[in-house]
Amino acid sequence: MDRLGWFGTPDQLLHFLRTVNADRDEDGQFLVAGEEGPMVGLGGLDVVVPASTVYFTGGQAHGLASGLQGTSYGMGIVVI
């Protein structure tokens, strides 16, 4: 997996997860995992997704940052 993360808004992140029909837990929360999870900035207006973060569809893991980079919103960033 590459080191390129993603930077955008929480709404863009949630829209992506809904669009790809990401798996949810019994409470309806999206299943996201990895060494580091998404980090929300002060005020909750932006979010950083490290390259190691994954989401699941049908139990199969997919790179969240790489998936988001394929959209027209947000931007790829190097997370150090």
Distances (CA, A) of 51 to 20, 39, 40, 43, 69: 18, 12, 15, 23, 11
**Global confidence as pTM:** 0.87
- Give the model confidence (pLDDT) of 22-80 as tens digits: 999 999 999 999 988 778 887 888 999 999 999 999 999 999 999 999 898 899 888 67
Which residues constitute the domain of residue 56?
4-78
To which residue do tokens 């992506």 refer? 16
How many domains is the chain built from? 1
